[in-house]
């Protein structure tokens, strides 16, 4: 789906961002929780559980996302803690995007609780934003903030400027006094490590980044350095593309076998190859998998698909492989198989992923991620297949 040539070059984009989405859904389910310090956390019964999200009442007490549960309860003894209910969250998300699509076909979900709208052809955009915000609040009990800007990046920055229930307009002429005074780490897409590296080169504020020399940014950060500078100057040519949802919501690979397989041991190398392909595609697109599904097609062409939601978003090849094999063992009918496939049926941008890890697995996860990045860097430089995994 592409924009029509007759469409005006100057666009008006909304970024609709739900406020404390998981906690808001819990309060919509149980109105008695409204106005109380509430947290959604993994491993609710254990002190080492991690806060996934929390209400603004909890935030006022110092509770934050990814904080250990024991620490949150120390700061807020009356904190109400509930386990995540992902199926209900997905249901609410579907209702939210259906409502947005009543106003324009140009709606691009980017995660379960946020999305872009191109409302260029709509009238009275500020009034429209107010109407959408009120409808979400009154019809679904879902509070949101809306950023209004001429492109996606500025709309995203604008929606973060006032929460909860904010509506913020950010125009190109506002950039010098609204964007440039911010610390460079407050710019969407710049993580802590990148901020530290920028600071090392004397780039402290967004204004510093906006005025940095192109040559130096490219030398130090590659093509991403020029993109960061563009963002600091409010430049972003990306369109709101509803068709991108089909690309991003599932990433998979399948293979028709040259010869039917009839044993589990024959399936293992096939799934290993498929998991490697899916992992590389996730890496290329910068996504993590939330759900893994397998496809089994039998010799009589009967086809089944089975899936499993993961505890934490991942693009770890071994985890994807093990999940696929477990599903195969559970659901294979022992008949001859003609085709096998693995699909990440739900994916999320890495920067939006909240990993529910206990305090001990956080360190392990960081080490694995670091090792993976190093190995990937070596392969990019010297070619795929240069590194072979040893047997454990």
Give the pLDDT confidence of 280-294 residue by residue, as tens digits: 989 888 888 888 989
d(C-alpha 235, C-alpha 221), whole Å:
18
Per-residue pLDDT at 313: 85
Both 226 and 263 in one domain: the answer is no
Q: What is the pTM of this model?
A: 0.64
Instruction: Specify the pLDDT at position 297.
Output: 86
Side-chain-side CA neighbours of residue 7 (13 Å): 15
Of 256, 258, 347, 344, nearest in space to 296 by CA: 256
**What per-residue confidence (pLDDT) applies to 149?**
98
Range with top average pLDDT, 187-196, 242-251, 339-348: 187-196
**113 annotated as belonging to a binding site for a ligand:** yes
In a shared domain, residues 192 and 138: no
In a domain, 76, yes or no: yes
Please give the pLDDT value at position 358: 41
Given the DSSP bridges, would you call strands 80-82 and 38-41 parallel, antiparallel or unpaired? parallel
In a domain, 369, yes or no: no
Does residue 137 belong to any structural domain of this protein? yes
- 201 vs 90: which has the higher pLDDT: 201
Q: Residue 373 pLDDT more than 80?
A: no
Mark whether 326 and 226 lie in a shared domain: no
Asked if residue 373 belongs to a known ligand binding site, the reply is no
Residue 189 covered by a domain: yes
Give the range among 66-75, 276-285, 349-358 with minimum mean pLDDT.
349-358
Q: How far apart are CA 271 and CA 329, in angstroms?
A: 12
323's CB contacts (< 8 A; 6+ apart) are 292, 308, 310
Tell me if 290 is assigned to some domain: yes
Kindly write down the DSSP assignment for every residue of 138-188, as one continuous string. HHH---EEEEEESSHHHHHHHHTSSTTT-EEE--GGGIIIIITTSBGGGST
* Whether residues 223 and 261 fall in one domain: no
151 and 234 Cβ atoms separated by less than 8 Å: yes
Q: Catalogue the active-site residues.
A: 114
The answer to whether residue 65 scores a pLDDT higher than 90 is: no
Domain match, 25 and 112 both: yes
Distance CA(61)–CA(80), nearest Å, equals: 13
Average pLDDT over residues 130-142: 94
CATH number at residue 71: 3.30.70.270
State the CB neighbour count (10 A cutoff) for residue 387: 12
Residue 376 predicted with pLDDT over 60:
no
Least confident among 85-89, 145-149, 151-155: 85-89
Residue 392 domain flag: no
Domain count along the chain: 3
**CATH (domain of 206):** 1.10.150.20
Average pLDDT, the chain: 86
Residue 51 lies in a domain: yes
Of residues 150 and 305, more confidence is placed in 150
Are 15 and 159 in contact by the 8 Å Cβ rule? The answer is yes
Q: Which domain holds residue 97?
A: 9-159
């Amino acid at each position: 789906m592409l924009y029509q040539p007759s469409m005006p070059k100057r666009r008006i984009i909304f970024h609709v961002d739900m406020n404390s989405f998981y906690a808001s859904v819990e309060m919509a389910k149980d109105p008695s929780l409204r106005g109380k310090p509430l947290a959604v956390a993994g491993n609710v019964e254990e002190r080492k559980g991690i806060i996934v999200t929390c209400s603004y009442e909890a935030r006022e007490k110092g509770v934050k996302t990814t904080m250990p549960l024991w620490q949150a309860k120390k700061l807020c003894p009356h904190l109400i803690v509930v386990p995540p209910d992902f199926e209900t969250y997905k249901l609410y998300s579907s209702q939210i995007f259906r409502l947005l699509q009543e106003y324009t076909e140009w709606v691009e979900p980017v995660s379960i609780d946020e999305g872009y709208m191109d409302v260029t052809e709509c009238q009275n955009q500020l009034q429209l934003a107010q109407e959408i915000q009120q409808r979400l609040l009154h019809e679904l009990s879902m509070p949101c903030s809306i950023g209004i800007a001429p492109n996606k990046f500025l709309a995203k920055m604008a929606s973060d400027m006032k929460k909860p229930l904010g509506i913020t307009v950010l125009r190109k002429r506002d950039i010098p006094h609204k964007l440039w005074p911010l610390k460079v780490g407050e710019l969407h897409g710049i993580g802590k490590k990148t901020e530290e590296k920028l600071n090392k080169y004397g780039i402290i504020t967004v204004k510093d980044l906006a005025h940095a020399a192109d040559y130096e940014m490219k030398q130090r950060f590659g093509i991403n350095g020029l993109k960061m500078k563009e963002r600091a100057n409010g430049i972003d040519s990306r369109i709101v593309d509803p068709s991108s949802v089909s690309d991003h919501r599932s990433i998979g690979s399948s293979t028709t076998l040259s010869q039917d397989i009839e044993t589990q041991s024959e399936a293992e190398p096939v799934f290993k190859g498929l998991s490697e392909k899916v992992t590389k595609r996730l890496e290329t697109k910068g996504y993590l998998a939330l759900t893994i599904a397998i496809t089994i097609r039998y010799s009589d062409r009967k086809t089944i698909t089975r899936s499993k939601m993961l505890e934490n978003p991942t693009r770890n090849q071994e985890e994807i492989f093990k999940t696929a094999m477990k599903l195969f063992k559970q659901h294979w009918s022992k008949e001859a198989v003609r085709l096998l496939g693995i699909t990440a049926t739900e994916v999320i941008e890495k920067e939006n992923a909240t990993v529910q890890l206990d305090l001990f697995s956080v360190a392990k996860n960081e080490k694995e991620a670091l090792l993976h990045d190093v190995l990937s860097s070596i392969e990019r430089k010297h070619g795929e297949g240069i590194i072979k995994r040893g047997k454990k």
